[in-house]
Amino acid sequence: MRFIQVGVGGFGGTWVRALKNNRQAKVVGMVDVNPQAMQKVCEENGYDASICFPTLKQALKSVEADVAVVVTPPVHHRAPVVEALGAGLHVISEKPMAESMADCKAMLCAARKAKRHYVVSQNYRYAGDMYAMADLVKKGRIGEIGQVKIDFYKGVGFGGFRADMAYPLLVDMSIHHFDLIRFITGLDAVSVRGQAWNPKWSHFKGDCSSSICFTMENDARVLYNGSWCAKGDYCDWNGNWQIEGSKGTIRYEKGVVTLDQVPKGYGVKKSAVVPPRKLRRIGQDYVLDNVIKSLSKGERPLTDVYDNIYSVAMVFGAVKAVKGERRIKVIDPALQQLIDGKTAARRT
Ligand SMILES: NC(=O)c1ccc[n+]([C@@H]2O[C@H](COP(=O)([O-])OP(=O)(O)OC[C@H]3O[C@@H](n4cnc5c(N)ncnc54)[C@H](O)[C@@H]3O)[C@@H](O)[C@H]2O)c1
């Protein structure tokens, strides 16, 4: 299958390696607004400069391809995705689908109109420990889920596009966790409340800390607390998880999945570490393999736009919620007057 990769800097290297390592993939074009980034990839991977193009338009005119892989910053996802779909290619893009819900809607419509597959790479799903948690839920080991807590606290000194985003954590990072919530629990979110803020020491321009509460389709609540400017490194990239159901709890911390069995009441009867599911491929290699196999068989690939829209809608729902957050004064003026002795308590 013939691929054009758009965006080969930063994380683009992961896709360059994935495409090189997959025997069914052939890179026929590379596009980047930065010629040095393409030169570096060519030198390191033995590609000819003739496959490098400054724009996708020129690449599409010059080479025949089946799939475009878009690894540009989120604000630059929509244009190449829509252009490639319009030219008849299938598309894989990095997460998040885009930097606004309006762009995501336009991309979904473009895929439908072109009758092409558009897949958003949600590589965090494709790891043995995440599969182990999803397997436990599917097998009913914790019964019906009632509450979930995820804590993601990591101090990361990102520069580049993330430093300037309005909500860097929610838009560029939490999409992984929100997609994992759906993957692991098998539940979609129906509503959201939340807050976002930026601690004084943060180097990010936008709010990089959040506390978000989702109500899921079975009325369970998912409490998500995260920060990219934590004063320390308190978890791995998946965050720390506690998924509680009627029969027990699944915990995840730094690569270790634990099942606490609580058949009755609140006491843990048995606790055991659960091994990761063995996967032949993980991360981007898994995504690429799944896309190639699905397209060859004429099947729908995993995390295509029609699935991913439910995850990205959690992101932009959360952004809307934190913008419109309603604050209740803890000490209202009447209570303050009472404390100060200026009024007496009224009977209610
Ligand atoms: N899945 C993951 O774990 C993971 C990790 C890191 C980044 N990402 C995602 O990968 C994407 C890229 O992030 P990054 O860290 O590589 O960013 P980056 O800024 O380091 O690199 C982006 C590259 O795209 C190029 N570019 C920018 N606009 C372009 C355009 N219009 N056309 C062609 N090329 C263009 C830039 O010159 C640069 O080489 C983002 O969506 C990000 O969220 C995913």
pLDDT tens per residue across span 257-272: 999 999 999 999 999 9
Same domain, 44 and 134: no
pLDDT of residue 326: 86
Q: Among 78, 98, 116, which residue terminates a domain? A: 116
Q: Please report the pLDDT score of residue 216 as a whole number.
A: 98
Mutate to test the pocket of ligand 1, among 16, 72, 107 (most ligand atoms within 8 A of CB): 72
DSSP string, 194-263: EEEE--TT---SS--EEEEEEEETTS-EEEEEEESEEEEE-S-TT-EEEEEETTEEEEEETTEEEEEE--
Q: Quote the number of domains for the chain.
A: 2
User: Which of 230, 229, 260 shows the shortest CA–CA distance to 247?
Assistant: 260
Domain that holds residue 257: 125-280+315-323
Residues with CB under 6 A from ligand 1: 6-12, 31-34, 37, 71-74, 76, 94-95, 123, 160-161, 172
Asked if 152 and 77 sit in the same domain, the reply is no
Q: What is the spatial distance between Cα 225 and Cα 240, in angstroms, rounded to a whole number? A: 10
pTM of the model: 0.97
Separation of 155 CA from ligand 1 center, angstroms? 21
142 shares a domain with 94: no
Evaluate whether residue 294 is within a structural domain.
no
pLDDT at position 249 is: 98
State both tokens at 11: 């994380």
Ligand 1 centroid to residue 3 C-alpha, Å: 17
Give the residues of the chain that fall short of pLDDT 70.
Answer: 348
Query: In sequence order, which residues have a C-beta less than 8 Å from that of residue 183 and are 6 or more positions away?
Result: 122, 125, 130, 134
State residue 345's pLDDT score.
Answer: 85
What whole-number distance in Å separates Cα of residue 125 and Cα of residue 100? 23
257 occurs within a structural domain: yes
The rounded Å distance from CA 6 to ligand 1 centre is: 9
Q: What is the pLDDT of residue 348?
A: 63
Residues in the chain: 348
Residues 112 and 227 in one domain: no
Task: Provide the angle, in degrees to the nearest 10, between the axes of the packed helices 174-185 and 128-138.
Answer: 40
φ and ψ at residue 227, rounded to 5 degrees: -155, 140
